[in-house]
Amino acid sequence: MSGYTDPYLFRPLRIRDLTLRNRIVISPMCQHAAEQGHATPWHWVHWGKFALGGAGLILSESTAVDPRGRIGSADLGLWNDAQAQTLQPLVQWLQEQGCAFGLQLAHAGRKAGSQPLWEGGRAIDPVHMAQDIDVWQRVGPSALPAGPGWSVPMALDEQGIQAVIEAFVAATVRADRIGVDVIELHFGHGYLVASFLSPYANQRQDQWGGSREGRMRLAVEIARRVRQVWPASKPLFARLSVVDGSIGGWSEEDSIVLAQALKACGVDVMDCSSGGLTEETRALPVPRGLGFQVPFSEQLRHSAEVMTQAVGMIVDAKQAEAILAQGQADLIAIGREALYDPYWPHHAAQTLGVDVNFEQWPVRHGVWLRNRAPILQRARIEQTEA
């Protein structure tokens, strides 16, 4: 990108016809705050602060394409038009703040039905799931539970698999109608598509299982069908667990092959996460230190020749800048760090010398901070000299 002198983190990035104002993405974070799949005032405040905070792109929480595919009972959904209509004014407002907005479309599969983290995060028992207002049933590639405490899922038949694909397609059409900028397909963390990828969770012997190609088929078919209805001008992301956390399970080499196949279907960015096949992730051979998943992003970026998004314990501006400068990723996603500091992008810009005068802040905020700056600097000098 010759001609740029700004730090990589604040160089605009064009993906298809969408130009992001910077490389900072707010990672999807389940809020368990929706009402029958509808966005609520919580989502306005939750995403709104990130838009005002200067992020280039906000990715929604896991948004269910089917009521059976919810992670929790209060997940955001896009399985009907009314949910899309509720979301539309929020999408428009976020974009008016200069921030692109993307929906992460997902089906939780055999890991559907869990409590929020603050209630323990455990599997909800089938009796309580049956009492929910919407149809809710765990499904998967095979009749194998996600781990202790999880009920045995119903193995999807051919009709059920086709229904899942159509649900992703229908949700994508709804997302386009309300002006969403990006779709991210959630193919990680042990949810439905990830369970099809796994040689442990998927023990089918038909076209949807067996070989790596067969186990990849659902991911590839969803991506292919979604790309057909998602405008060519709009980016398509996919979140992968580059390694799924099981010994001898889905590997980095497998993810390179999958990333190449998804790229051929029109997926533009691989969002590189890891783990989550079951609740037991101790087998994951990656210490959870700073930037612990960045090597996955770097490997896929170079081996599959595809744009990647790095995520996981990226906490400060200089760390994020180094990842981009070293060619390890094209985008930086922050989640918990954004919760800790919703204005992280603006603070990062100041740290890197991009916006020392608060000119990139929302005008209603920047003017107050800009006027205070010399007074605050003088007060601090006086305090030091006293």
Residue 4 known to be catalytic: no
Given 191, 200, 340, 343, the catalytic residue: 191
Query: How many angstroms separate the CA atoms of 375 and 86, rounded?
Result: 44
Query: How many angstroms separate the CA atoms of 250 and 248, rounded?
Result: 7
Instruction: Give, in order, the Cα–Cα distances in Å from 31 to each of 109, 158, 184, 215, 303.
Output: 19, 33, 17, 30, 34
The amino acid at residue 82 is A
If we measure between CA atoms, which residue out of 144, 246, 230, 279 comes closest to residue 238? 230
The pair of structure tokens assigned to 146 is 């996600």
What residues contact residue 376 under an 8 Å CB cut-off, 6+ apart?
A: none
What residues contact residue 360 under an 8 Å CB cut-off, 6+ apart?
A: 54, 346, 349, 354, 366
Q: What is the DSSP string of 101-145?
A: EEEEEE--GGG--B--GGGT-PBPPHHHHHTSSS----EESSS--
Pairing of strands 24-26, 331-334: parallel
Query: How many angstroms separate the CA atoms of 340 and 334, rounded?
Result: 10
Q: ∠ CA(120), CA(126), CA(128), 5° rounding?
A: 70
Contact between 60 and 34 under an 8 Å Cβ cutoff? The reply is no
Q: What are phi and psi of 63, to 5 degrees?
A: -110, 115
Query: How many angstroms separate the CA atoms of 120 and 129, rounded?
Result: 16
Q: What are phi and psi of 362, to 5 degrees?
A: -55, 135
Contact between 327 and 287 under an 8 Å Cβ cutoff? The reply is no
The pair of structure tokens assigned to 282 is 């101790």
If we measure between CA atoms, which residue out of 225, 253, 227 comes closest to residue 240? 253
Pairing of strands 307-311, 269-273: parallel
Q: Which residues are identified as catalytic?
A: 191
